[in-house]
């Protein structure tokens, strides 16, 4: 897969923001196939252009980014299975854009299926890196603000009895990996902590997602916090964009 194959839809009601993102992504070898000014336009643009990644502003007139994200991710693209080299079927990855680092709607967007979020003041390098990260099927969990968001808006203080029944399918090692992943550790950091090869860590993460029926690391983090496997005070600092 080449970078030129990555197709992006930029959704924002501000012309300057859309123009700036188009220029930055273009310079990074990423193709902006369409722009939209609100959520309604975004849903239609996804149907029309079939992007790989959607950069979605969360606060817009008419239909906001949260509702648009729900609609987009509820409508799989049936023909994706025929597109060689694509990530697993058949919906674009959504990155939420916001100027508010603790916007209450962002957690809801992550729960609705978004693959992560960025503040609008990210650097050009971070923007390009974010698109590449989610394009390959990973989740954009790196910014410390994501963990703060999860901390604030998930249930806290749940006891062990409240654990989701599906966690029983995980081995002790997989539970350990999930707990560390939810605290913000990258694959490289997980490997160092557990004295494992990175390839082994990636295998553990893949098995966790498969057993729990989760799409990506964002959903895994949400499950870890919501079930009480990890509490808010246990998160750890990590670098801006961890290895995937």
Each residue's pLDDT tens digit, 172-199:
999 999 988 887 777 888 899 999 998 9
**What is the pLDDT confidence band of residue 19, given thresholds at 50, 70 and 90?**
very high
Within 8 A by CB and 6+ apart from 45, the residues are 9, 11, 34, 35, 36, 51
Of 16-20, 54-58, 96-100, 150-154, the one with minimum mean pLDDT is 150-154
Q: Residue 182 is part of which domain span?
A: 156-234
Q: Domain of 220: which CATH number?
A: 1.10.10.10
Tell me the average pLDDT across 220-224: 81
Residues 113 and 75 in one domain: yes
Asked whether the beta carbons of 230 and 181 are under 8 A apart, the reply is: no
Give CA–CA dist 60/112, Å, rounded: 17
Task: Give the DSSP letter of residue 218.
Answer: H
Q: What is the pTM of this model?
A: 0.66
Residue 195 lies in a domain: yes
Q: What is the DSSP string of 63-116?
A: S-HHHHHHHHHTS--GGGGGSTTPPSSS--EEEEEES-TT-HHHHHHHHHT--E
Residue with tokens 């606060």: 59
Structural element, H or E, at residue 8: strand 7-11
| pLDDT tops 80 at residue 220 | yes
Residues 88 and 189 in one domain: no
Residue 128 lies in a domain: yes
Residues 17 and 105 in one domain: yes
Residue 147 lies in a domain: no
Residues 161 and 113 in one domain: no
Residues 98 and 198 in one domain: no
Residues 70 and 38 in one domain: yes
Residue 240 lies in a domain: no
Number of domains in the chain: 2
Q: Domain of 64: which CATH number?
A: 3.40.50.2300
Residue 243 lies in a domain: no
- Dig out the tokens for 182 from the structure: 């939810």
- Strand 116-119's sheet: what is its strand order? 31-36, 7-11, 53-57, 93-98, 116-119
């Amino acid at each position: 897969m080449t970078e030129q194959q990555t197709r992006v839809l930029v959704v924002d009601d501000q012309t300057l923001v859309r123009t700036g993102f188009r220029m930055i992504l273009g310079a990074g070898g990423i193709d902006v196939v369409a722009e939209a000014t609100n959520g309604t336009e975004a849903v239609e643009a996804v149907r029309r252009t079939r992007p790989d990644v959607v950069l979605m502003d969360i606060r817009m007139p008419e239909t906001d980014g949260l509702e648009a994200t729900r609609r987009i991710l509820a409508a799989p693209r049936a023909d994706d299975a025929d597109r060689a080299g694509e990530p697993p079927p058949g919906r674009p990855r959504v990155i939420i854009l916001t100027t508010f680092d603790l916007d209450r709607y962002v957690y809801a967007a992550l729960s609705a299926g978004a693959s992560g979020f960025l503040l609008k003041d990210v650097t050009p390098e971070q923007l390009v890196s974010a698109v590449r990260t989610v394009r390959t099927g990973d989740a954009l969990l790196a910014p410390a603000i994501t963990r703060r968001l999860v901390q604030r808006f998930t249930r806290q203080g749940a006891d062990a009895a409240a654990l989701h029944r599906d966690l029983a399918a995980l081995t002790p090692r997989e539970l350990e990996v999930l707990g560390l992943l939810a605290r913000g550790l990258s694959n490289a950091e997980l490997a160092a902590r557990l004295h494992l090869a990175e390839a082994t860590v990636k295998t553990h993460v893949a098995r966790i997602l498969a057993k729990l029926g989760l799409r990506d690391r964002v959903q895994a983090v949400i499950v870890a916090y919501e079930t009480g496997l990890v509490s808010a005070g246990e998160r750890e600092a990590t670098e801006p964009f961890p290895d995937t």
